[in-house]
Structure 1
Amino acid sequence: MRSNFQHLLLRQEEGVVVITMNRPEVLNAFNDAMLQELTEAVEEAAKSDDVRCLVLTGAGRAFGSGQDLSAFASAQHNAEAQPVSEHLKKYHRLLSLIREMPKPVIAAIRGVAAGISCNVALSCDLRIAADNARFIEAFARIGLVPDGGGGYFLPRLIGLGKALEMAMLTDEVSGPEAERIGLVNKCVPLAEFETETMALAKRLAQGPTRTYGLIKQLMYQSLDCDLPSALELEGRLQDAAKATADHREGVNAFLQKRRPHYSGK
């Protein structure tokens, strides 16, 4: 994968690619350049057979502090500035790539995850947080509604009442509280954060990758369809899973009473 990014750091290890947003001087706030680079990196990871799990994290003390408001404010004063909805389409492409990627994506969050950065984390399949993590849906503080999929992801993860509470009151949610309410899958001590993140990522990278992609498709599409449609989808995806080499390996390993060795195919 390409590695010469201005605002990203990339590391690849045992089928895992770690993408680190690298603007620590502004707590990894998004500007257009970093958003474009991140979109390119995620798209490349999705296509690479060498990548079987992706980890998205932030450099330094934070996952991300949201949109870089200095750049945002400058654009607002430009008489020919495009509508915010046009700008958001760039984020929407990134969110769609993460959701549609046929392999697992983990958000690894330490420190603050605010605004659009928080919602990018919520778009990932799994989230692991350090115990110093702070999640903030900060949009209402500046008179805006949650964007970057916040209105979609939040109520589906934590329920409508909690989602409205986070969006309206804009109070911080700590890492331990995020685990309790289902906003993250796991909260770990900061000292163990990187070790625990890589252990989870490598476990997924050693699994049946194509099956994981089909599981993502089943779960995400089932959220928005009725039961008959979900059952029809289930059948089609099970047919596809049964045709994989990893299914055959899993069955053989079970019958031979040994650990399976998945190829991701």
Structure 2
Amino acid sequence: MTEPLVITSRPGVTRVNINRPDQGNALDVSTARALVEAIHAAEENPTTAVLTLTGTGRIFCGGGDVAAMAAHGSAERPAFLTELADAAHSVMRALAGSRLVILAAVNGAAAGAGLGLVLNSDLVVATDHAKFLAAYASIGLTPDSGATRMLPHILGHQRAMEMLVGGKALTAAEAKDWGLVNEVTSAERFEAAVTQWESRLLRVPAQVLATTKGLARQAMEPSLGYSEHLDREATLIAQSCSGPESQELIARFAAKSQPAGDGGLAASADRKTSQSA
């Protein structure tokens, strides 16, 4: 059985590859739990200061596993969505709360919870063919993974709503222009660019990196803490899947994605691209 993560290390840096390319690197419960374990394991090494998160293949992370959602009947789906959102939110908490600086190396589409991984990272490098989209509304769900907290903070309310309910999928260039991405590079230069960012960060003392990240994260905390906000998102996404429109949209999406093997929401970005081409 293929491991859901591929983890490599060099002095100061741990790289974590989501390794479910046949499912569009979609998050299921076991993969989310493995991500949390990988983050904590990297933190236990006192010489590690940077964690780089990327995906295997053409998609960074296609979000929650919609095929698995569709496989659960309407009666069981809210409980499944609660479990999946809670598992994904454990990843988001681990990323945001880690002493490590998280570098998202976005090698392709980042959709749904995959967008959440980007939002909960500290720096973002993307290939020029990457896309960023929320996509929850397209299957009749409310957002999770911190999207309704982090997108307005980074983009402003109007642009956040354009992505959350307006169906806006950002190209890599747009994502950089909107402030979501730090650097866009060609696929050929992607590996070199990621390594350069890692090396740049390692020139800063590890304690300075950790403390500065902690201060910057604390500055984003309003009266309702981020953890409580994630709990609220998890409750609402589970409720939203009970509606007949959501059930129909999830089933339709899962049926369309099966031949391509894309279990996550990133497949919708590929379809939009092909339709506009």
Match of 2:166 in 1: 169
Residue 140 of structure 2 is aligned to residue 143 of structure 1: yes
* Residue among 38, 43, 47 paired with 2:44: 47
Pick 1 or 2: higher relative contact order, CA cutoff 8 A, min separation 6: 2
Tell me the secondary structure at the aligned position of residue 7 of structure 2.
Answer: strand
Tell me the secondary structure at the aligned position of residue 63 of structure 1.
Answer: strand
Amino acid corresponding to residue 8 of structure 1 in structure 2: L
| Counterpart Cα distance in 1 of 2:77 and 2:58 | 36
| Counterpart Cα distance in 1 of 2:50 and 2:183 | 17
Q: What CA deviation, in whole Å up to 9, does each residue of 1:55-107 have, x standing for no partner?
A: 00000111011111111222344548626334322222211111111121100
Q: What CA deviation, in whole Å up to 9, does each residue of 1:121-144 have, x standing for no partner?
A: 110011111100000110000111
| Counterpart Cα distance in 2 of 1:118 and 1:64 | 8
TM-score, normalised with respect to structure 1 = 0.79
Range with bigger deviation, 4-13 or 190-199: 4-13
Amino acid corresponding to residue 100 of structure 1 in structure 2: G
Amino acid corresponding to residue 132 of structure 2 in structure 1: F
- Taking only aligned residues, the RMSD between alpha carbons, in angstroms, comes to 1.9
Amino acid corresponding to residue 54 of structure 1 in structure 2: L
| Counterpart Cα distance in 2 of 1:181 and 1:204 | 23
* Residue among 219, 223, 232 paired with 1:222: 219
| Counterpart Cα distance in 2 of 1:164 and 1:75 | 29
Match of 2:230 in 1: none
Residue 72 of structure 2 is aligned to residue 61 of structure 1: no
Report which of the two structures shows the higher radius of gyration computed on alpha carbons: 1
* Residue among 179, 182, 202 paired with 1:182: 179
TM-score, normalised with respect to structure 2 = 0.76
Range with bigger deviation, 134-143 or 79-88: 79-88
Cα contact 2:5–2:34 (8 A) shared by 1:
yes
Cα contact 1:14–1:205 (8 A) shared by 2:
no
Cα contact 1:23–1:59 (8 A) shared by 2:
yes
Match of 1:125 in 2: 122
Cα contact 1:14–1:202 (8 A) shared by 2:
no
| Counterpart Cα distance in 2 of 1:57 and 1:131 | 15
CA 1:173–1:225: 2 relative to 1, 3 Å: closer
CA 1:106–1:99: 2 relative to 1, 3 Å: same
Gaps of 5+ in 2: 224-277
Identity value in percent? 30
Match of 1:35 in 2: 32
